[in-house]
Amino acid sequence: MTGEDAGQPGRPDRIVTGPVRSSERRCRKRLDPDTVRTLPDGTDVIVDLSEWPLPLGLEKVFGSAAPVALEIGPGKGEFILEMAKANPGMGFLAVEYKRTRVERIGGRVVRAGVTNVRLTWSDARILVTDCLPPASLVAVYMNFPDPWPKRRHRRRRLAQAPFLESLARVVVPGGTFTLGTDVEDYATQVVGALELAGTWENVFGRARIVDRIEGYGTTHFERRFREQGVAIHFLRYRRL
Ligand SMILES: C[S@@+](CC[C@H](N)C(=O)[O-])C[C@H]1O[C@@H](n2cnc3c(N)ncnc32)[C@H](O)[C@@H]1O
C-alpha cells in the first residue's frame, strides 16, 4: 500500500459490501480535523455515513428536494464542481475512497462557495448498495474509473454486473448512467453488461459508444488523455 492508500475504507478487490457503520467509524477517525469542510451557513460538505440514519435521506443531506446526481470517484473534483456550478437547481453527491482526495475536494467546494455539493468518504459499493434509498438519483457519472487493463485484473473493475445491478436500484426510471474511459474494452464490457441487464437502454442507440458528450463536464483524466491524443469512449444509458 502507498501512503495515500493507507487509511482507505477498503481496497476495491476486498470490500463489496460490509459493516458500513464500523468501516465508516474507522474512516471518521482518520479524517484530518483541520480539513476545510464547512460552508458559511454551518453545513458540512462531507457527509459522515456513520452519523446519518440509513438509508441516507438526500433531502436532509442537501437541505432541499432538488434532484440529486452521484459522481463515483471524483479524483480532484473539477467535474463535480463544474456540474454543480452549471446546475444550481440540483444536488451533486460524490463518493471517493481516498481520504486525502475527499479532504482536498471539500476545501475546494468551500472556497468556491458552491453549496450544492456533498462528499462521502466511502467505497462506492457500500454507498450504492447499502446506504442510498431506491430510486433516489437522477444521474450517475463514472469518469475514468480505475482501468485494471491487464486481463487477469479485469475482475477488479468496479463497473461490472453486480455493481451495475445496484446502480439500477438507486437510479429513477428515466435517470441516466454515464461512463467515460480511455480503455475501449472496459467500455465494451460495460455496454455488454447493461444491454444484457434489461433495465437500461442506450441513449445514443443500441450498444453505441461515443467519443464525446455535448455539455458534459471535463475531468482531470479526460483533459490529460485528450492532450496526449488518447481516444476516449463514453456510454450513456437510461434507466427503464
Ligand atoms: C482514475 S481516477 C479518475 C478520477 C476522476 N474521475 C478523473 O476522471 O479525473 C479513479 C478515481 O476513482 C476512485 N475510486 C476507485 N474505486 C473506487 C471505489 N470503489 N469507491 C470510491 N472511489 C473509488 C479513485 O480513488 C480515484 O479517485
What are the average pLDDT values for consecutive 10-residue runs of the chain, which has 240 residues?
A: 39 34 49 85 92 94 97 97 97 94 95 97 93 97 95 92 97 98 97 97 97 95 97 98
Query: Looking at 146, 182, 185, 211, which residue is catalytic?
Result: 146
| Closest C-alpha residue for ligand 1 atom 23 | 73
Chain Cα centroid distance, residue 129: 13
- CATH 3.40.50.1100 for the 134-240 domain, yes or no: no
Tell me the CA–centroid distance for residue 135 and ligand 1, in Å. 23
Render the burial of 34-50: b for 16+ CB within 10 Å, e for the rest.
ebebeeeeeeebbbbbb
Query: For position 71, what pLDDT does the model report?
Result: 98
Domain ranges of the chain: 1-128, 134-240
Query: For position 29, what pLDDT does the model report?
Result: 52
Domains 1-128 and 134-240 share a fold: yes
Query: For position 62, what pLDDT does the model report?
Result: 97
Query: Among the atoms of ligand 1, which is closest to the Cα of residue 180?
Result: 8
Tell me the CA–centroid distance for residue 74 and ligand 1, in Å. 6
Residue 146 catalytic? yes
- CATH 3.40.50 for the 1-128 domain, yes or no: yes
Query: For position 30, what pLDDT does the model report?
Result: 65
